Amino acid sequence: MGKIVNQEAVEVVIGAMLFSKEAISEVTGILTKEDFATPQLREVFAAVLELFEEDKPVDIITVAERLRERGTFEEVGGNEYLTNLAINTPTTANVMYYAKIVKEKSLLRQIASKNKELTAVIEMGDLEAAKLIAEEITVLTEKKIGYNTIKALIISEAAEKDKQQGAHLWLVENFIPQKGLVIFSGRPKHGKTTVLL
C-alpha cells in the first residue's frame, strides 16, 4: 500500500495550507487526517486544523509552536521540514486539484486494505464476514467513482426522467431547465457566475 500515494500532491496540499486560510477551508471540505498516508503529514495537518478552528494565524511559526505543544515537533522533522513544505509549494491556486488526488489515493489505500481483509476471511472460510467486507469495498469503490461523476449522474438522471415524462424543456440541454427552481452552488470565486452567464 505504500505505493498508493502521491507524495508531491500531499506536500503541496499541506504547503498551501501554511499560506492560505482559504486553502485550509477548501481542503478540509474533502480531506481528513486519515487521508494522509504518513504520520508526519497527518500530524502537520492536525496542527494546522487546530489553529484554523481556533481562528489563530496559520504559518510556519505558529504550526511549529503547535507541534511543540503536541510534543511531535522533532518527529515531524522540525523547522527544516516545515520550511521545505512551504518552499516546495509553487502556488495555492491548484490546491483543490491536489487535494482530490490525495483523496483518491486515500480511497485506493482503504480499498487495498479491505481487499487484504477479504482475502484473509475467505481463507478462513468465514462467508458472513466476507460478505460484510465485500459490501464495504463496494461502498469505497462507489465513493471513488462518485467523487468525480456524481454531479454528472444527477444531471443525466434528471434528463432521463424528463424524457420518460415526455418533457424536453431545457434552457441549456441537461443543465438548466426552462421552468422550476434551480440551485446552482459552489465555493466562492470558482466560476458560478461565468458558467451561468
77 close to 40: Cβ distance less than 8 angstroms:
yes
The answer to whether residue 14 sits within a structural domain is: yes
The answer to whether residue 173 sits within a structural domain is: no
Average pLDDT, integer, range 178-184: 60
Task: Please indicate, yes or no, whether residues 23 and 78 belong to a single structural domain of this protein.
Answer: yes
pLDDT of residue 147: 47
The answer to whether residue 180 sits within a structural domain is: no
Per cent of the chain over pLDDT 70 is 70
pLDDT of residue 63: 94
Average pLDDT, integer, range 99-119: 87
Cβ-based neighbour number of residue 17 at 10 Å: 30
pLDDT digits (tens, 9 = 90+) for 118-156: 888 888 888 888 888 888 888 777 766 444 443 443 444
Task: Please indicate, yes or no, whether residues 115 and 89 belong to a single structural domain of this protein.
Answer: no
CATH assignment of the domain containing 66: 1.10.860.10
Contacts for 57-66: CB closer than 8 Å, 24+ residues apart: 58/17, 58/18, 58/21, 58/24, 59/18, 59/19, 60/18, 60/86, 63/18
Alpha helices in the chain (DSSP H): 7-19, 21-27, 39-53, 60-70, 73-76, 78-87, 95-124, 127-164, 192-196
- All three cell numbers of 55, joined, read 481562528
Range of 37's domain? 7-99
Of 99, 125, 158, the last residue of a domain is 99
Cβ-based neighbour number of residue 82 at 10 Å: 23
pLDDT of residue 181: 56
Task: Please indicate, yes or no, whether residues 127 and 74 belong to a single structural domain of this protein.
Answer: no
The answer to whether residue 130 sits within a structural domain is: yes
Give me the sign of the Cα torsion angle 26, 85, 37, 6: positive
Task: Please indicate, yes or no, whether residues 114 and 159 belong to a single structural domain of this protein.
Answer: yes
pLDDT of residue 1: 46
Residue 189 has pLDDT above 50, yes or no: yes
pLDDT of residue 14: 92
Task: Please indicate, yes or no, whether residues 121 and 160 belong to a single structural domain of this protein.
Answer: yes
Alpha carbon distance, N-terminus to C-terminus of the chain: 45
Average pLDDT, integer, range 82-106: 86
Q: Where does residue 170 fall: left (phi above 0), alpha (psi -120 to 50 degrees), or beta otherwise? A: beta
Task: Please indicate, yes or no, whether residues 39 and 110 belong to a single structural domain of this protein.
Answer: no
Task: Please indicate, yes or no, whether residues 94 and 15 belong to a single structural domain of this protein.
Answer: yes
Cell 475467505 sits on residue: 122
The answer to whether residue 186 sits within a structural domain is: no
15 close to 88: Cβ distance less than 8 angstroms:
yes
Of 73, 99, 125, the last residue of a domain is 99
Weakest-pLDDT range from 22-26, 148-152, 155-159: 148-152
Count: domains in the chain: 2
Of 65, 99, 133, the last residue of a domain is 99
The answer to whether residue 187 sits within a structural domain is: no
The answer to whether residue 92 sits within a structural domain is: yes
**Closest alpha carbon to 13 in 188, 25, 4, 162:** 25
pLDDT of residue 185: 58
